[in-house]
Amino acid sequence: MRSLFKMELKRAFVNRMFVLALAIGLLLAALQVMSVVVPFAFSDVWAPVRNGMKGVWPHSFYSSWIGVTGYSVFSTLYYFMLPLLVCLPHASSLYADLKAGYTGNVHTRVKASYYYFAKMTAVFLSAGAVSVVPLVANLLATMLFLPLVLPDPVAGIFFSGARMWLDVYYSSPNLYIVLYLLLTFFVSGIIAWCAVSFGFLVSNGFMVLVAPFVCCVFLSFVGGASLLTRYAPISLLSPYAGNATQILWVIVFYAFLGTLFCLFTGWQVHRQEAALWRNS
């Protein structure tokens, strides 16, 4: 079991698709720093603000990292592409294993439940890493250029209105960031599990990767004013989107989806193991 788990983790984190997904995320995070953070720190246009001559609040780390700059095209692109990026590293591996007959060889050596657990864990962790690592890199880079001026509602450059964890943002902004990182990690893992489940429903590896992204876009844009739109990852995971959904319902919603994906995938894996033993 341990060797199988290590092997799945290696397959998830040591492959070209993981590097590609991480590189795209890091590129978008770096472009946001260069286009938003660096000008705030060095541009002559903002010199009077930095010197206090305009009598306005200076740009802060807490108002300039990629998660809170919705006016930046790179921030928007990052969260828009996230449902696709998190599926690239390992979400289609079960589909590929089935097509190659690899699962049959594994099932003759270990229980299907062991393989299934190792696969789903590796998929979840790789998806979470792809989603969070670029955000952490962006946070560290932003911290190098801008001061840690705490958010103040009277400044006019920080959040206002109904949104999730607004009280935490003003009372403990660092905790606010950590909470969003954890939420992003968790939801990204569920999205990748969705792709794994689609591997049993479609006959094309490309569709396995794209299907969760299409579902997320549908929730965001086609859902309109429906309540489900609030749970779309594209808007839910970005703090600047102003999502006022209660975190308890978010957790319940995605935990329910994750349970469905795991049960469906586990059922399919055990079906194939039973068929294998009947034919042997």
Flag whether pLDDT at 82 surpasses 60. Answer: yes
Share of the chain above pLDDT 70, in %: 87
Report the first-to-last Cα separation within the chain, whole angstroms: 23
The residue behind tokens 């969003």 is 180
Give the separation between CA 186 and CA 172, rounded to whole angstroms: 21
pLDDT digits (tens, 9 = 90+) for 30-44: 999 999 999 988 877
Please report, as a single letter, which amino acid is at residue 243.
N
From residue 14, give the alpha-carbon distance in Å to each of 9, 20, 29. 8, 11, 22
How far is C-alpha 68 from the geometric centre of its chain's CA atoms? 15
Tell me: pLDDT of 12 over 60.
Answer: yes
Residue 83 scores a pLDDT above 70: yes
Mean pLDDT of the chain: 85
pLDDT tens column, 44-61: 766 776 666 555 677 889
**pLDDT beyond 60 at 225:** no
The size of the chain, in residues, is 280
pLDDT digits (tens, 9 = 90+) for 144-203: 999 888 888 777 667 766 678 888 888 999 999 999 999 999 999 999 999 999 888 877
Structure tokens at 82: 């996230």
The one-letter amino acid at 49 = V
Q: State residue 216's pLDDT score.
A: 87
Say which amino acid occupies 92.
S
Distances from the Cα of 5 to the Cαs of 1, 12, 100, 189, in angstroms?
6, 11, 20, 17
What pTM did the predictor assign? 0.91
